[in-house]
Amino acid sequence: MGLALPMTGLQQAWAREGVEVGGNSMFTKLVPAETIENSAAQQYAQMLQQAAAKNALAGKDHPQVRRLRAIAQKTIPHALGWNPRAANWHWEVNLIGSQQINAFCMPGGKIAFYSGILDQLKLTDDEVATVMGHEVAHALREHARERMGKNAATGIGASLLSQALGLGQVGQTVTNYGAQLLTLQFSRSDESEADLVGMELAARAGFDPRAGVSLWQKMAAASKGAPPQWLSTHPSGRTRIADIESNLPKVMPLFKPKAAQ
């Protein structure tokens, strides 16, 4: 189910307040955005079909679906300043029944939460907005497109090298985008960037960005025995909390509690 969002005046740029993360990577230019977004839409639809076949796709009247979509309605309009393409995305938010503590936003605004992250972590609305902002930030900053661009650059480089050495065509560029979307792992810098952009999105939407601290405390408690930071592409919970706390002064002025809006 797509989200009907008020777009009037939302594309105007605000004076740059909040976090600073620089421009999108040049590697994104190696892969067409439209191709990745179309592949993501197909992959997302297939996932929903599979979930529905297992009776694991929550209906539109499910309380948690209504909750997620209400938070999205407040959050997504503030995404447009980060990526002008987002104004034309067909945003969707769905809930899949699974014990996984996970959520994602595919390129093109395809959001899914697993019931495990809501049930096991007992997320507040502020914490849900933090998770959603983080996942939406990955899409806005085109981290998947960047990863694929780097893969394409590696393939192109191998191909050019092999041709120069007379070895024939051995490298190849990105071909199966849909399959890659399911296996991509974001870098530590991608994750840290998504944390910062996500907390700004949450703050602008009227959700307390300080919830990032309690969220990662809950994540840390739920992932005892996880590998140390240097063995993982994800920053440790302690590192993430420190980064969030150091950036709170930049986003707290943007936070207007819902009661005061």
- Predicted confidence (pLDDT) per residue in 174-185, tens digit: 345 545 555 556
In a domain, 148, yes or no: yes
pLDDT exceeds 60 at position 27: no
Q: Are 140 and 22 in contact (CB under 8 A)?
A: no
Mean pLDDT check: name the lowest of 33-47, 52-66, 217-231. 217-231
In the prediction, which pLDDT does 188 show? 80
Q: Closest Cα partner for 93 from 191, 1, 20?
A: 1
58 or 16: which leads in pLDDT: 58
pLDDT attached to residue 143: 72
- Is 43 among the domain residues? yes
Q: Give the amino acid at 129.
A: A
Q: Coil, helix or strand for 257?
A: coil
Q: What are phi and psi of 8, to 5 degrees?
A: -60, 120
Provide the domain count of the chain: 1
Q: Dihedrals φ, ψ of 48, to 5°?
A: -65, -40
Instruction: Kindly report the number of other CB atoms within 10 A of residue 143's CB atom.
Output: 23
How confident is the model at residue 64, as a pLDDT? 98
Looking at the predicted structure, is the pLDDT value of residue 140 above 50?
yes
pLDDT beyond 70 at 216: yes
Residue 207 lies in a domain: yes
Is pLDDT of 234 > 70? Answer: no
d(CA 93, CA 73): 10
What is the pLDDT at residue 76?
Answer: 94
- What does the pLDDT average to over 205-228? 85
Stretch among 180-189, 202-211, 223-232, 243-252 having the lowest mean pLDDT: 223-232
Mean pLDDT of 171-195: 62
Residue 96 confidence (pLDDT): 97
Beta bridge partners of 112: 94, 104
Nearest-angstrom CA–CA distance, 204 and 206: 5
Region class of 196: left (phi > 0), else alpha (psi between -120 and 50), else beta: alpha
Residue 9: the pLDDT is 41
- Could you tell me if 95 and 78 are in contact, meaning their C-beta atoms sit under 8 angstroms apart? no
Provide the domain limits for residue 109: 30-172+180-260
Mean pLDDT of the chain: 79
For the ranges 97-101, 145-149, 194-198, the lowest mean pLDDT is seen at 145-149
Q: What are phi and psi of 10, to 5 degrees?
A: -80, -15
Q: Which of 92, 127, 135, 146 is catalytic?
A: 135
Any domain includes 151: yes
Residue 40 counted as domain residue:
yes
Q: Which carries the bigger pLDDT value, residue 213 or residue 177? A: 213
> Active site includes 34?
no
**pLDDT at position 150, please?**
61
Residue 21 lies in a domain: no
**Rounded CA separation 111/226 (Å):** 26
191 in a structural domain: yes
The answer to whether residue 3 scores a pLDDT higher than 80 is no
For residue 255, tell me if it sits in a domain: yes
